[in-house]
Structure 1
Amino acid sequence: MPVRNTVRRFIDEKLKITRYEFSERTGLSKTTVYSLYDNPEQIPNGIALNKICDYYKIQPGELLEWSED
């Protein structure tokens, strides 16, 4: 799949928080957060994307990237 999520990079490099903290702040379930974090091929659904973007005031492009792989 050419589009991948960059949630792991966002959490680890930009926010420097735990997955648990990310879940608590955004209101996403731990299952969703851990799944997105561990699997870059999983694309967040609209609800998850909206929650993350709304809480952190970011554009969806900060969480998704296109790759030729």
Structure 2
Amino acid sequence: MENELRVIMAKKKLKVVDVFNDTGISKTTIYGLYEETTQHPSASTILKICEYLEITPNEFFGIKKDR
């Protein structure tokens, strides 16, 4: 599933282990999202990552609002 996790983590200078340690989400799940190999992540996982990174789900998925 395409997402912006890699870019957002790079901007915030975070590593997968940081997200794992701070959220409790498994490393396998985080790596799957980071590498964009996870097909159907749970909504609760996405929301937990968004809350941790202080971003919206739209930002996570790279959805930009047209004005």
Question: TM over 0.5: same fold?
Answer: yes
8 Å CA contact retained: 2:4, 2:62: yes
Q: Does 1:29 align with 2:29?
A: no
Moved over 3 A (4+): 40-44
Unaligned regions of 5+ residues in structure 2, if any?
none
Structure 1 residues 48-67: aligned runs within 5 Å: 48-65=45-62
State TM-score, norm by structure 1. 0.71
8 Å CA contact retained: 1:6, 1:64: yes
CA RMSD of aligned residues (A): 2.1
Identity %: 35
Bigger strand fraction: 1
8 Å CA contact retained: 1:36, 1:43: no
- From 18, 35, 38, give the equivalent of 2:15: 18
Paired positions, count:
63
State TM-score, norm by structure 2. 0.73
Greater relative contact order (Cα 8 A, min sep 6): structure 1 or 2? 1
Unaligned regions of 5+ residues in structure 1, if any?
none
